Amino acid sequence: MNMDKLQELFEKLDEAVTLLQKELDVSYIEALAETIQNLSYEGKAQQMDGLPSDEVIAQLNRMYRKLNLAEEERELVRKLVQIGFIKAIREDKIQSNHQITPDTIAFLLAYFIDAIKANKEETIHLHDLAAGSGNLLFVVMDYLNKRGNPVTAEAVDNDDLLVTLAANSAHLQQWDDQVKFTHSDSLQELLIEPADVAVSDLPVGFYPVEERSKKFETAFAEGHPYAHFLMLEQHMKYLKEGGWGFFIVPKNLFESDETGILMKWLKKTGYLQGMLHLPENLFQSAQAQKSILMIQKAGAGAKQAEQVLLGTIPALKDARKIQDFIKEFHNWSTLML
């Protein structure tokens, strides 16, 4: 990727977003979402109730002409939107559950999925029920696509602004025919196709709609349940038999399962195939540390791995240890095929 080109494009994007933000008196993320939408459809600013003014509309359209993203590589467009969202997180102090999944972690998941789903002829249908801005899903789709796997996907999120941003980002990346977006509370009944692979950076915390949570086996008998427990169950519900789930979860996921409710549900649903702790240096505190959880749904030839893959992924800067880890994972994944 041409980093100089990326920097140049971001400066132009940021200039347009900032101008729109000031004109409409909105947050940076709102201005970013509208800018990406404008760029997605004819590259023209939209006016409603006299805003933006005619003068600002003309300025924005001149800026948009310098951002001809249709000619740019898919990966560069994804990174451009990602950097814009990272600035929005900083500017708007966006809550932690809407933070973007770092590329280093997203590419690890993409590698794991590719290793497990090694058949290059069949289309892999993915879903992410906490898709946010779509960055994790787009990384996985692009990686699998480049590796020779046709991909389709469905993305769900309860934040309408992020769904809009993700959908228009997908349009700019030319994923239109391969990914469908739904704005919904992901824990409601969903009209989505069963997936071969679930991938998600799960929101962490308590789920406030206690009445809705009662239909889930991972809900507590009393009190608000953990949203990340419910989201695991929901993802697996919409997986095909034998399908795989790759989830970014709190490192203490099973330690927090004090009543054993999560493990009891998992034993009924499928197989815990692996849990790999991410390098500690990727996180600012011990409480923020995450792991990659790998689950396979029962049925369709699914089986428990002879050896559940447990451990800690080495620091990504340690090339030798990473190489050894990749070799170990490849050997393990070969046994799963």
Question: How far apart are alpha carbons 80 and 78 in whole angstroms?
Answer: 5
> What pLDDT does residue 222 have?
81
Do 159 and 217 reside in the same domain of the chain?
A: yes
Do 163 and 264 reside in the same domain of the chain?
A: yes
> What pLDDT does residue 96 have?
65
222 secondary structure, DSSP code: S
Do 215 and 72 reside in the same domain of the chain?
A: no
226 secondary structure, DSSP code: B
Regarding predicted confidence, which is higher, 128 or 100?
128
> What pLDDT does residue 121 have?
64
Strand partners, 199: 246
Do 327 and 185 reside in the same domain of the chain?
A: yes
Question: How far apart are alpha carbons 70 and 8 in whole angstroms?
Answer: 16
pLDDT at 122 over 90: no
Question: How far apart are alpha carbons 195 and 296 in whole angstroms?
Answer: 12
> What pLDDT does residue 94 have?
76
pLDDT at 6 over 70: yes
The CATH number that applies at residue 79 is 1.10.150.470
Count of domains forming the chain: 2
Do 136 and 80 reside in the same domain of the chain?
A: no
Chain centre to alpha carbon of residue 270: 23
The CATH number that applies at residue 178 is 3.40.50.150
pLDDT at 269 over 90: yes
- Beta-strand ranges (E) seen in the chain are 124-128, 151-157, 179-183, 195-201, 239-250, 270-277, 290-297, 309-312
Do 211 and 133 reside in the same domain of the chain?
A: yes
| pLDDT band of 337, cuts 50, 70, 90 | low
Question: DSSP 3-state assignment of 156?
Answer: strand
For the chain, percent of residues with pLDDT exceeding 70: 97
Do 87 and 112 reside in the same domain of the chain?
A: no
> What pLDDT does residue 209 have?
85
The pLDDT mean for the chain works out to 92
pLDDT at 286 over 90: no
271 secondary structure, DSSP code: E
Place of tokens 């969202």: 85
Digit-coded pLDDT (tens) for 152-176? 999 999 999 999 999 999 999 999 8
Domain carrying residue 271: 96-336
How many CA atoms lie less than 13 Å away from 8 in the CB half-sphere? 10
Instruction: Find the mean pLDDT for residues 173-197.
Output: 95
Do 303 and 176 reside in the same domain of the chain?
A: yes
Instruction: Find the mean pLDDT for residues 44-53.
Output: 91
CB of 142 closer than 8 Å to CB of 75 = yes
Do 56 and 201 reside in the same domain of the chain?
A: no
Do 50 and 107 reside in the same domain of the chain?
A: no
pLDDT at 281 over 90: no
